[in-house]
Structure 1
Amino acid sequence: MDAEQKKELEHIIQSYRDTNLDTINYWWEYSSFDSWRFWLTFILLAVPLLVLYFKIDRNRVYQIGFYGFAIHMLGVYVDTIGTNYGFWSYPYKMIPVLPTSFTLTSSMIPVAFMLMYQWQSRKRINYYLCAAGVSAIFVFIIHPIFMWLDMFQMYRGFNYLIMYVNYFGGSIMAKLVLDAFVYLNKKNDTIRIRKIK
């Protein structure tokens, strides 16, 4: 690494540090423990996880959990990209060092999709119709409520239609990932059975 490249990299790292310090200072000023929005985000984080604890099918906990983890990770990636590029922001967050909404990406969204997946697979209802419905609830009901509460803001032409594509596209990708791992697991079980015989 030459001196100019090293200097440019150090400038970028310092910019990250400055931005993180500004974000933490903003959080302490407007979004910390003395704000009702902090406690609302805490409740919106805790309640879905409690519901999941009591409602998840214990016989399929690994499969449903893996699906939820896939939804969570895809949500974190999309949310991080969107906030880093300034398409949306969360003025009030529970954890200031994360660019994403910890409440949405770690609890509300994964839990809603996990319970939907559990329900639709048990009832044998089309997954994509159910995923489209859950996506619509988040995009056209929950996010507008968050905007009304000033807990979510959109910028630079980002809109609900693009958001819907993100949600529904993420649910399709999570299902494909899950299906691939279920297929590999079944294939592995078949090979193991043949070896035992």
Structure 2
Amino acid sequence: MTTRMTFQEGLNQVDKATQKIVEGNQIVTDTIMNTFLFTWQWWISLAMLIVPWIIWGIFRKRESSNRLLYTGLIIMVLSAILDTFGVENGNWSYPVKVIPSVTISYSFRFSVLPVLAMFFLQFKPDFNPFVKAIIFGGLSAYIGMPILAAIDLYKKVDWAYTYSFFILTFMYLIAHWSSRMNNFEKI
């Protein structure tokens, strides 16, 4: 049986939990800085953060850049939120990353996924979005994530790639829908 604590006791519990989070973050930062920094996995993660944007800058559909960046930002925000929940609940982790952050893999969520989605949106824009979403979800969940796991950039704990497939497929459909919006007005 759980006893109800007072408001002040609750604040004290949150302070204790916050201190544990800070200590955990420091352990992760120290590990990344002292163990993983400049390993070949770290360099791959850095390349994953930079190279997709360079490729996108070269091959993007220039007249649609703002619209594509808007949808890329939506992918980033959605994936960052979902990623945070997944890591906080112990479903997966990112052992090696460029930026020492406990929750998010910036390389995958802030570069590879949005750039891939933007390329999918600009390539054959009138093609069936559901087919493109399934291909996007399948490539990301069943090819990309296992490759990341094989090189220790992603660690699946209590999660199935199929869950990611459905989430990523739905995420692409949201990106597709947002790329079709025509209600932007000048400020």
TM-score by length of 2: 0.89
User: Offset of 1:90 from its aligned partner?
Assistant: 1.1
Q: Size of the alignment, in residue pairs?
A: 181
Cα shift at 1:36: 1.3
Q: Please report how far the alpha carbon of residue 2 of structure 1 lies from its aligned counterpart in structure 2 after TM superposition.
A: 4.4
Query: What is the percent sequence identity of the aligned residues?
Result: 21
Distance 1:175 1:15 in 2: 40
Q: Give the corresponding residue for 1:75.
A: 79
- For residue 55 of structure 2, what is the amino acid of its counterpart? V
Instruction: State the match for 2:176 in structure 1.
Output: 175
Q: Is the 8 A contact 2:45 2:97 kept in 1?
A: yes
Do structure 1's residue 62 and structure 2's residue 66 form an aligned pair? yes
| Partner residue in 2 for 1:132 | 134
RMSD: 1.8
State the alpha-carbon separation in 2 of the partners of residues 116 and 92 from structure 1: 28
Contact 1:31/1:38 (CA < 8 Å) preserved in 2? Answer: yes
Equivalent residue for 1:152, pick from 135, 151, 154? 154
Distance between the aligned counterparts of 1:98 and 1:3, measured in 2? 29
Distance (Å, rounded) in 1 between the aligned partners of 2:127 and 2:178: 19
- Deviation of 1:171 (Å): 1.4
Give the Cα–Cα distance (whole angstroms) in 2 for the partners of residues 175 and 80 of structure 1. Answer: 23
8 A Cα contact 2:41 2:152, kept in partner: no
Gap regions ≥5 residues in structure 1: 190-197
Corresponding position of 1:194: none
Q: Distance in 2 between matches of 1:112 and 1:40?
A: 17
- For 2:40, the equivalent position in structure 1 comes to 36
Q: What is the alpha-carbon distance in structure 2 between the residues aligned to residue 3 and residue 142 of structure 1? A: 46
In the other structure, the counterpart of 1:103 is 107
Look up the equivalent residue of 1:50 and give its one-letter code.
I
SS in structure 2 at match of 1:120: coil
Question: Which position in structure 1 is the counterpart of 2:55?
Answer: 51
Counterpart of 2:29? 24
The amino acid of 1:159's aligned partner reads A
* Structure ID, larger Rg: 1
Deviations 1:163-191 (A, max 9, x none): 10111121123333444xx2433xx58xx
Contact 1:120 1:127 in 2 (8 A): no
AA aligned opposite 1:96: P
**For residue 113 of structure 2, what is the amino acid of its counterpart?**
I
Question: Distance in 2 between the 1:13 and 1:169 partners?
Answer: 33
8 Å contact kept, 1:89–1:153: yes
> Match of 2:119, SS?
helix
SS for the counterpart of 2:143 is helix
Cα separation, partners in 2 of 1:39 and 1:14, compared to 1, 3 Å: same
